[in-house]
Amino acid sequence: GAVVSQHPSWVICKSGTSVKIECRSLDFQATTMFWYRQFPKQSLMLMATSNEGSKATYEQGVEKDKFLINHASLTLSTLTVTSAHPEDSSFYICSARDPAAGDTGELFFGEGSRLTVL
Amino acid sequence: GQNIDQPTEMTATEGAIVQINCTYQTSGFNGLFWYQQHAGEAPTFLSYNVLDGLEEKGRFSSFLSRSKGYSYLLLKELQMKDSASYLCAARDSNYQLIWGAGTKLIIKP
């Protein structure tokens, strides 16, 4: 199946700093990527839909200025957590659909990035 | 509102069969997905149902009843590596995925 790669897998940062997480589709072009946040023992929470060449669509309650999303190419989307605080500590996961995968709409997920803000 | 319900946790024995149920309420319906997620890892796709009935894929099968808003994931010949969380997700009329909280499956020897 299609491969989505996410980097870094783990990141620890000091409060007040910014952290960038990259999501790449390695063997297909993804016009749309999705960013999720997941707290322990909880479901995936969609944060935003990243659209190549245009602004991301944020879900209600997600701060656009806090979580900056850039989708500059068909294979790369980035999520930047700005001025991170301990409450931003979480597991962040990206996903994308491979257009060649047919109508199932199967999502291919990156490995996830665990952010810890001290 | 839109909602997905699935049990929080289930326990089963190695070699046995387990059925994980999922009920959903969505604005429109465009398919039901099951994903497997091992602790600390990203979800991986297991199955997709859009029509009523049973889809079999090796040891895993998934069933859908659209009239009842119900699906289940059936795992046969359980192996220790099947210990994971199983996420049910329904796609609504806007093609948005509504995710359940996941069912943590514990396999005992």
Is the pLDDT at A110 greater than 70? The verdict is yes
pLDDT at A52: 85
How far, in Å, CA of B11 to CA of A25, rounded?
36
Pick A34 or B40 by higher pLDDT. A34
Give the side-chain half-sphere CA count within 13 A for A88.
26
How close does chain B come to A15, measured CA to CA in Å?
23
- Cβ of B102 within 8 Å of Cβ of A46? The answer is no
How far, in Å, CA of A14 to CA of A19, rounded?
10
Is the pLDDT at A31 greater than 90? The verdict is no
How close does chain A come to B34, measured CA to CA in Å?
10
- Cβ of B33 within 8 Å of Cβ of A111? The answer is no
All residues of chain A having their beta carbon less than 8 Å from the beta carbon of residue B48 are 104-106
Residues 38-97 in B contacting A (C-alpha not used; CB under 8 Å) = 40-45, 48, 87, 91, 95-97
- For residue A59, the chain B residue with the least C-alpha distance is B96
- For residue B50, the chain A residue with the least C-alpha distance is A104
pLDDT at A102: 66
- Of chain A, the percentage scoring pLDDT greater than 70 comes to 95
B41: nearest CB among A45, A108, A111: A111
pLDDT at A69: 94
How far, in Å, CA of B76 to CA of A86, rounded?
42
How far, in Å, CA of A95 to CA of A20, rounded?
16
User: What residues pair up with A42 in beta bridges, in sequence order?
Assistant: none
- Across chain B, mean pLDDT equals 94
Mean pLDDT of A13-17: 96
How far, in Å, CA of B68 to CA of B57, rounded?
23
* CA-to-CA separations, B84 to B17, B51, B62, in angstroms, rounded: 15, 26, 17
- Confidence band (pLDDT; 50, 70, 90) for A14? very high
Is the pLDDT at B83 greater than 90? The verdict is yes
B91: nearest CB among A1, A105, A112: A105
- Cβ of A105 within 8 Å of Cβ of B40? The answer is no
**pLDDT tens digit sequence for A44-71:** 899 999 988 888 999 999 999 999 999 9
Is the pLDDT at B75 greater than 80? The verdict is yes
Q: Please say whether the dihedral angle defined by the alpha carbons of residues B47, B49, B55 and B60, taken in this order, is positive or negative.
A: positive
Mean pLDDT of A83-103: 87
- Cβ of A1 within 8 Å of Cβ of B45? The answer is yes
- Confidence band (pLDDT; 50, 70, 90) for A1? low
Is the pLDDT at B61 greater than 90? The verdict is yes
Is the pLDDT at A20 greater than 90? The verdict is yes
- Of chain B, the percentage scoring pLDDT greater than 90 comes to 83
Is the pLDDT at B48 greater than 70? The verdict is yes
